[in-house]
Amino acid sequence: MSKWINNSVFYHIYPLGFCGCPEYNDGKTEYRLDKLLKWIPHLKKMGVNALYLGPVFQSLKHGYDTSDYYNIDCRLGDNESFKKICDELHANGIKIVLDGVFNHVGRDFFAFKDVQQYGSNSQYCGWFQNLTFNGRSPYNDPFWYEGWSGHYDLVKLNLYNQAVVDHLIGAVGKWMDDFKIDGLRLDAADCIEPNFFKSLRKFCKGKNPDFWLMGEIIHGDYNRWANPEMMDSVTNYECYKGIYSSHNDKNYFEIAHSLQRQFSNGGIYKDLCLYNFLDNHDVNRIGSTLRNPAHLNNVYTVMFTMPGVPSIYYGSEWAIEGTRTRESDQMLRPCLELDTPLAKIHTLVPHIGKLSALRQNFHALCDGKYENILIKNEQLVFKRFSNDQTIVIALNISDNEYWIDFSINGGSVLTDLLVDGSQYNVQNNHANVMIPANGARVLLLNNGDFNYADFAERIKNNEQSEIISNAQNQNSTDETKTENPVSVSQIECKTERVVKLGKYRNCDNQIFSVIALAHNTDSDEPNVIYKELFGNGRIFVCSSKTFLENVERNGSSIPKFEYIDFD
């Protein structure tokens, strides 16, 4: 197991979509991926310290139809530009994991084109699975070959051929040497010959013992692929489904069963650090999957506090929506900018940032054991614990606050780390805790010696200094600036306590436009005049003090109105 993985928070980007690349490779080199550099402050604000990039190598269309493993897709840039991006990410403490698409290639792959040209005389006939010359392919080639899952634009490689293995592992060596990547996500891992993974592991760990290998596995026993001979980890599709389904059905028994089955003492995956996610480039966005948006904070709380490593799919930190169709995955893979209208200022961003901070400060959340404490349809209590630390996670998907009783031993006080620092006494190994409506508490078991105020201030100061230093770093690299760079003032506008003209979102998710600032001659205080942008277009007026006050939502104090226009 790689040493760094337990303490990681991943951000997953599908580069060709993220950068708005043309659907088909036009052969023109455009340095679109350079825009990733201005996202670094945003990633660090959420506590992200590992980046998983989908396919970045030369392909004809969507990246999973590789034509050249040794060069970056020209729609994204070139090897030199990508090396600079990797260097900058590493300088900011962010690990890099690339997509290894080794099960199949595109029809533009050099060896396949050689077969098309020379037929049975090609030296590469043995590179492809079940290639024969006694029939014609669906593309009318004078030969037959196996396509991945019936897709004949994806030509299945013959991984029993040592020349193929050497070519692929040679590419990985180049990526490790040139880009200093820290790991690989192996696409369609369930379709790949196990001996290939054994060879890949031996090579990668030989160069870097801390290198991480993670496979895309949808069904089956994860131990079959994640073991000391093959990969370190796999995608946790079982809990992906369990998390959203348990919230949609108001049935916490579902996810509690999966977590207990996987990670409890005696659990089948208790020794694995699985890759957890709420959505990705292949499945519907969590913002579309959840029936009740009020449950968004809780699904992220579950993912960040359960065993394994959490991953955020780009844009879902703003709860953007997207569903796949039979014809296209394009809605799942949009082009996004930091100042796009989709990138709404959403309470999820600070929530994710706080969850990341909890993982960074409390090791039991990263590598502690798991145990269910109490399960109800709308409430769930579990703990993560080590020899010297116990964290209790209490979740509630009711529309009302809920006082929950449960047994816990090892301390006299439970201090909330997530919401407000509330303390609950433990008497005779028994606690009674209030969980906010559609909310959660992450509670540290202690003996009254934990100072929450100092902890909260430390996290706050670290976040502020991090944002400033990142912004300064960005300003010092003029070559990475784009037409609309994110500045310090733009970041600060999210917490600025001064009303200005522009669009605002209120705490009930309604959009308004502040159209004027006025002075009330009777009360001698400034007033805000704002208009409803949807519905009946009504016009309202209130004092600026009222407009800027905070309200309680899901157990957290949030602004009544949040500014959503950037300067």
Query: How would you write 102-157 as a 3-class SS string?
Result: CCEEECCCHHHHHHHHHHHHCCCHHHECCCECCCCCCCCCCCECCEECCEEEEEEE
Q: What is the pLDDT of residue 1?
A: 67
Separation between Cα atoms, residue 380 and residue 143, nearest integer Å = 57
Burial letters 98-117, b for 16+ CB under 10 A, else e: bbbbbbbbbbbbebbebbee
For residue 327, the tally of other CB atoms under 10 A from its CB is 6
Are residues 414 and 445 in contact, defined by beta-carbon separation less than 8 angstroms?
Answer: yes
Are residues 235 and 214 in contact, defined by beta-carbon separation less than 8 angstroms?
Answer: yes
Residues of the chain where predicted confidence (pLDDT) is lower than 50: 464-496, 565-567
Separation between Cα atoms, residue 361 and residue 366, nearest integer Å = 10
The β-bridge partners of 154 are: 106
Phi-psi region of 118 (alpha: psi -120 to 50; beta: other; left: phi over 0): alpha
The one-letter code for the residue type at 284 is N
**Regarding the domain delimited by 5-106+158-362, which CATH topology (the fold level of the hierarchy) does it fall under?**
TIM Barrel (3.20.20)
Delimiting residues of CATH 3.20.20.80 domain(s) in the chain: 5-106+158-362
Nearest CA-CA partner of 499 in 561, 550, 553, 558: 561
- DSSP annotation string for 187-249: TTGGGS-HHHHHHHHHHHHHH-TT-EEEE---SS-GGGTBSTTSBSEEB-HHHHHHHHHHHHT
For residue 283, the tally of other CB atoms under 10 A from its CB is 22
Determine the Cα angle at 165 with ends 159 and 167, to 5°: 130
- Give the chain's radius of gyration (CA, Å): 26
The β-bridge partners of 146 are: none
Answer positive or negative: Cα dihedral of 495, 501, 503, 507: positive
Delimiting residues of CATH 2.60.40.1180 domain(s) in the chain: 366-453
Phi-psi region of 308 (alpha: psi -120 to 50; beta: other; left: phi over 0): left
Nearest CA-CA partner of 557 in 444, 452, 418: 418
- Longest CA–CA span in the chain (Å) reads 94
Query: How, if at all, do strands 151-156 and 147-148 pair?
Result: antiparallel
For residue 487, the tally of other CB atoms under 10 A from its CB is 14
In order of 275, 381, 391, the CA distances from 384 in angstroms are 17, 10, 5
Phi-psi region of 250 (alpha: psi -120 to 50; beta: other; left: phi over 0): left
Phi/psi at 206 (5° precision): -65, -35
Q: What is the pLDDT of residue 465?
A: 46
The one-letter code for the residue type at 484 is N
Supply the pTM of this predicted model.
0.82
Q: What is the pLDDT of residue 479?
A: 38
Identify the burial level of 474 via C-beta atoms within 10 angstroms of its C-beta, where 0-12 means exposed, 13-18 middle and 19 or more buried: buried
For residue 475, the tally of other CB atoms under 10 A from its CB is 12
Q: Which of these CATH numbers, 2.30.30.320, 3.40.50.2300, 3.40.1190.20, 2.40.420.20, describes 493-563?
A: 2.30.30.320
Burial letters 359-388, b for 16+ CB under 10 A, else e: bbebbbbbebbbbbbbbbebbbbbbbbeee
Task: Kindly report the CATH class assigned to 366-453.
Answer: mainly beta
Delimiting residues of CATH 2.30.30.320 domain(s) in the chain: 493-563
Instruction: Name the DSSP letter for residue 175.
Output: H
Determine the Cα angle at 280 with ends 279 and 282, to 5°: 115
The one-letter code for the residue type at 182 is D
Separation between Cα atoms, residue 196 and residue 172, nearest integer Å = 13
For the record, the structure tokens of 439 come out as 């909310």
Determine the 3-state secondary structure of 540 from DSSP. strand
Q: What is the pLDDT of residue 480?
A: 36
Separation between Cα atoms, residue 71 and residue 77, nearest integer Å = 10
